[in-house]
Amino acid sequence: MKVEAQLTDVATAEKLGLLPEEFEKICSILGRIPNFNELSIYAVMWSEHCSYKNSIVWLKTLPKEGARMLAMAGEENAGLVDIGDGIACAFKIESHNHPSAIEPYQGAATGVGGINRDIFTMGARPIAQLNSLRFGKLADEKTKWILRGVVKGIGDYGNAFGVPTVGGEVFFDDCFTVNPLVNAMSVGIVEGGKTVKAISYGAGNPVFIVGSHTGKDGIHGAAFASKDITEDSAKDLPSVQVGDPFQEKLLLEASLEAIQTDAIIGMQDMGAAGIICSTSEMSAKGEAGMVIWLDKVPTRQENMKPWEILLSESQERMLIVAEKGKEQAILDVFEKWDLNCVQIGEVTDGERLKFYMHDELVADVPAESLVLGGGAPVYHREYHEPAYLKEIAAYKNEAVPQPESLGDVMDHLATHPNLASKKWVYQQYDSTVGTVNMSTNLPSDAAIVDVRGTSKALALTVDCNSRYIYADPRKGTAIAVAEAARNIVCSGGEPVAITNCLNFGNPYNPEVYWQFVGAIQGMGDACTAFGTPVTGGNVSFYNQSSYEGPVFPSPVIGMVGVLDDKSQQTTLFFKRPGDLIYVLGEMTNDLGSSQYIYSYHGIRHSSCPEFSLEAELLLHETLKRIRGKQIAESMHDVSDGGLYITLIESGFFNKLGFSISTDNAIRTDAYLFGESQSRAVVSIDPHEQPILERILNATSIPFKLLGEVTDGAIEIDGVAYGDIQSVGHKYDSALENILNQ
Amino acid sequence: MKFGVVVFPGSNCDRDTLYAFGDLLGAETVALWHKDTDLKGVDFVVLPGGFSYGDYLRSGAIARFSPIMDAVINHANRGGYVLGICNGFQILTEAKLVPGVLLHNESRKFISKNIYIKAATTNSLLTNQLEPQQALKIPIAHGEGNYYIGTDGLKSLQDNDQILFHYCDENGNVTAEANPNGALLNIAGVTNKNRNVFGMMPHPERASDPVLGNTDGLKILESILQTVG
Sign of CA dihedral A416, A417, A418, A421: positive
Quick: pLDDT tens for B7-52.
Answer: 999 999 999 999 999 999 999 999 999 999 999 999 999 999 999 8
Residue A435 has its nearest CB partner, among B114, B137, B209, at B209
What pLDDT, on a 0 to 100 scale, did the predictor assign at position A234?
56
What pLDDT, on a 0 to 100 scale, did the predictor assign at position B60?
79
What pLDDT, on a 0 to 100 scale, did the predictor assign at position B55?
80
What pLDDT, on a 0 to 100 scale, did the predictor assign at position B89?
97
Q: Does B21 touch chain A (CB under 8 A)?
A: no
User: What separation in angstroms does the CA of A636 have from each of A111, A168, A446, A619?
Assistant: 31, 16, 10, 12
What pLDDT, on a 0 to 100 scale, did the predictor assign at position A297?
96
Q: Does B61 touch chain A (CB under 8 A)?
A: no
What pLDDT, on a 0 to 100 scale, did the predictor assign at position A425?
98
Between chains, do B141 and A159 touch, taking CB under 8 Å as contact?
yes
Quick: pLDDT tens for A666-705.
Answer: 999 999 999 999 999 999 999 999 999 999 999 999 999 9
In chain B, which residues have their Cβ closer than 8 Å to the Cβ of A249? 9-10, 12, 51
What pLDDT, on a 0 to 100 scale, did the predictor assign at position B54?
80
Q: How many domains does chain B have?
A: 1
What pLDDT, on a 0 to 100 scale, did the predictor assign at position A176?
95
Q: Is the ipTM of this complex over 0.90?
A: yes
Q: Chain B residue with minimal CA distance to A165? A: B112
CATH number, position B166: 3.40.50.880
Quick: pLDDT tens for A280-337.
Answer: 999 999 999 999 999 999 999 888 999 999 999 888 999 999 999 999 999 999 999 9
CA A339/CA A214 separation, integer angstroms: 13
Lowest mean pLDDT among A65-74, A95-104, A187-196, A639-648: A65-74
Q: Chain B residue with minimal CA distance to A433? A: B13
In chain B, which residues have their Cβ closer than 8 Å to the Cβ of A566? 211
Q: Does A430 touch chain B (CB under 8 A)?
A: yes
Residue B110 has its nearest CB partner, among A159, A337, A438, at A159
Question: Is a pLDDT exceeding 90 seen at residue B229?
Answer: no
CA A653/CA A444 separation, integer angstroms: 11
Q: How far is B158 from chain A (nearest CA, A)?
A: 32
Q: How far is A83 from chain B (nearest CA, A)?
A: 19
Question: Is a pLDDT exceeding 60 seen at residue A237?
Answer: no
**What region does A699 belong to: left with phi over 0, alpha with psi -120 to 50, or beta?**
beta
Q: Does B171 touch chain A (CB under 8 A)?
A: no
What pLDDT, on a 0 to 100 scale, did the predictor assign at position B99?
98
- Residues paired with residue A710 on neighbouring β-strands, in sequence order: A657
Q: Does A738 touch chain B (CB under 8 A)?
A: no
**Per-residue confidence band for B227, with pLDDT thresholds at 50, 70 and 90:** confident
**Per-residue confidence band for A223, with pLDDT thresholds at 50, 70 and 90:** low
Question: Is a pLDDT exceeding 90 seen at residue A545?
Answer: no
Q: How far is A152 from chain B (nearest CA, A)?
A: 8
Lowest mean pLDDT among A194-198, A494-498, B109-113: A194-198
Q: Which of B74, B104, B82, B101 is nearest to B90 (CA)?
A: B101
The three-class DSSP label of residue A66 is coil
What pLDDT, on a 0 to 100 scale, did the predictor assign at position B65?
85
**Per-residue confidence band for A232, with pLDDT thresholds at 50, 70 and 90:** low
**Per-residue confidence band for A229, with pLDDT thresholds at 50, 70 and 90:** low
Non-local CB neighbours of B182 within 8 Å, separated by 6+ positions? B103, B105, B106, B107, B146
CA A330/CA A322 separation, integer angstroms: 8
Quick: pLDDT tens for A147-178.
Answer: 999 999 999 999 999 999 999 999 999 999 99
Provide mean pLDDT across the span A428-451: 98
Q: Tell me whether residue A617 is exposed, middle or buried, using C-beta atoms within 10 angstroms of its C-beta: 0 to 12, 13 to 18, 19 or more.
A: middle
Quick: pLDDT tens for A716-734.
Answer: 999 999 999 999 999 999 9
Q: How far is A449 from chain B (nearest CA, A)?
A: 9
Tell me what percent of the residues of chain A surpass a pLDDT of 90. Answer: 89
**Per-residue confidence band for A441, with pLDDT thresholds at 50, 70 and 90:** very high
Mean pLDDT of chain A: 94
Between chains, do B110 and A156 touch, taking CB under 8 Å as contact?
yes
Q: Chain B residue with minimal CA distance to A248? A: B10
What residues make up the domain containing B124?
A: 2-228
In chain A, which residues have their Cβ closer than 8 Å to the Cβ of B114? 440-441
